[in-house]
Structure 1
Amino acid sequence: MRLLCLSNGHGEDAIACRILQSLQQSTAIKELAALPLVGTGQAYQAANIPIIGRTQAMPSGGFVYMDGSQLARDVRGGLVQLTLSQLRSVRQWNRSGGRILAVGDVVPLLFAWWSGAPYGFVGTAKSEYYLRDEHGVLTRCTWFERLEGWAGSVYSPLERWLMHHPRCHGVFPRDRLTASFLRKWDIPVFDLGNPMMDGFAMDIPEPDWQQVPLTVALLPGSRAPEVYENWILILEAVQALVETWNTPLEFVGAIAPSLAIEPLIAALQPHTWQSSSDPSGKTVWRQGNNILRLTQTEFISTLERTHWAIALAGTATEQAVGLGKPVIAIPGKGPQFTPAFAEAQTRLLGPSVLLCHRPEAVVDIVRSLQQQPEWRQQIAENGRRRMGTPGAAERISRCLVEQLSDPSGYT
């Protein structure tokens, strides 16, 4: 089998890579390739997965749907020509007998349908949790917000038609609640978990909130230049904690490897952090008895040992929640992490995300968390339920091979 993976975003590329790397172990796969519809596919390049077709970074960074004003800039930057070229590439893949895996939202799903090839779909962008939880429909304030659920599901009739199409051999939603709703429309749904949690340990025990120092993950996001504005907001919250907390704190900034770290270091200076070396010789910053570290290589271990996180991030926030951690979210200026994005994130992830509109208000939230272990337990259980257990990429890859090996239909 020859398989082409389509994805449309940095997070989606990373999820797709996990599935493709698992597929590489299958003897049924003769060729794997990828076509990132947004950006240049750095995750695929790092994983040595061949990229076919044309790629190009757009001014919006892929966030046109969050900021309509970016669309004109993307069009001037060659969006139309890029899309037409990519459409031709997927058609050519079908002519040579290939199959397609779409990862993300309706855009790669439409491309997969357009190709004429048998396809599968990993839905990372949508969840019924945006509209409801296990207890019923969520309260929305305005008529426009209530309109989101007009079709009876977070997925529109068009998306459901694409997932129900005879050439769609498997749909892999991000959570159990969404899978149960999609089954109402006779869609070939497989509830196999969320690949975002792959790579983490299966059972992370809750850390001791009485230990010293407490560890705090700082997650500013992964997209420049927005990440540098986010970092300034996070440092304001950090400073509020440092000035009021009566025991030492350890802050760990988990920074994407693709980012320049120098602007993050420069932003520490107004807050009187002083650089020094830890016992291993790595540079750290100290303010009183508090310590701040930056890492671009220890993301998983940072999240696994942290007590809570302060975040202006998408995927990283979801992964922290999946580990049972409380995440304090501070809305930024965007284009990704806007107040609207943060509000939607609280619906997606429920009580695990604690929305904080002023950085200094973080202090009261953390004090309440420390004093209420029952609340922390509810947060941990909620996060693991919504994000699932590690190992989804392997489960999905095995199912894909089985379903796409027979182009006549799904079982």
Structure 2
Amino acid sequence: MTQTAGRAAHRITIVGGGAGGLELAVRLGKKLGKHKKAVITLVDAERTHLWKPLLHQVAAGTLDSHEDELEYLALARDHHFTFRLGRMDGLDRSRKEIFVAPTFDENGEEILPRQSIPYDTLVLALGSQTNDFGTPGAQEHTIMLDSPGAAERFHQRLVNACLRAQNKARAPGEGRFTVTIIGGGATGVELSAELHMTAKIVSSYGLANFDPEKDLKIAIVDAAPRLLQALPERLSIAVGNELRQLDIDVHTNEQVVEVTKEGVRMGSGKFIPSGIVVWAAGIKVADFVKELDGLETNRINQLVVHRTLQTTRDPSVFAMGDCAACPLDEGKTTVPPRAQSAHQEANTLSKSLARMLEGKSLLEFRYRDHGSLVSLGNYSTVGSLMGALARGSVFIEGTIAKWMYWWLHKHHQIVVNGWFRTWLSTWTDAINWIRNPRIKLH
């Protein structure tokens, strides 16, 4: 084991390699692991990392996940931390160790046995998953875009539907193939525009009998009175107008009460016949977290933390990102589960844990809302900037907003991979954009 000043180095174990967890591992690896001040271990159930805000592009086929994913083992080697493959399913706080479930291959054969991983400081960055609120039929008949695998499955079904439409003459009065998206937040809105663009591109690749205007219908359903309810109203109105111009049906103030094999039923009595249903409404943390050795959780299983990001019942266990309920200001409101929150928490926690090892006090996290951006594929990007730029917010759209949305992704890559590798990958992306089809066709 690595030694520091004659004693075993402090063990910092991070569970979850999403945007926040991976950035934290990289920052701590450079700051502490490289100089043998601590042993940094990252644990994740996947072997590769894909920035979660890109999943709607993978689903639509406008992004090949294999071109943008990052290998955890390679990142660990380059940034002085250790990667362990596996899905956490338990915790023993008295022994200071986590438990990781066995890993199996596609044939059901065991790759890695059940294991335990020790820690001195534990950081839980478990992320979140879609919350279906117990709606009947949601688990059986919807796709939830929580992972690259789910996004790939959706894309396969979409391409297959386009191919069927190409080879099947539509009878007079026969309805179009409908994709219904439940949830009018950023994921649902961005996916709807991306799908509209994908359908138009698919029809240009020799599918002469497939007419995106006649053969495909896209609908969004949300229980809130407007799309993007959590974001500024002006942004919501601009997005709604853009989607309606694309002939995307928007159903607000509609509560989904059942999903069947045939479609989506709402409390008002409306029924939308659907070929594919995507659930993108609401989040929660994995159910096992609410029974994680006595740690305090809220109604959606988030771990309740202090401003230092320490859990309320164990100072050696921290939580960040979507899985943490961190106080916002002095009220009962918590930090919103967004990518910028995870990025800011990773930055603060990397400094804070380094201070802790030096015997200094922990830093308190202060969330700064830098605004919101919503991409509508090639059609438009709109957003609001907040903070130092103006009192309140500044509404932006068009080219400036597009570039800023692109920069969010690049900034994450720079934190993880550095300027030079990000510059190289950007050129590679540009070459592939010219060389490859506009969308993934398989």
Band of TM-score, shorter chain: under 0.3
Q: Which TM-score applies when normalising by structure 2? A: 0.25
Q: Which TM-score applies when normalising by structure 1? A: 0.27
Larger Rg: 2
Greater share of strand residues, 1 or 2?
2
Greater share of helix residues, 1 or 2?
1
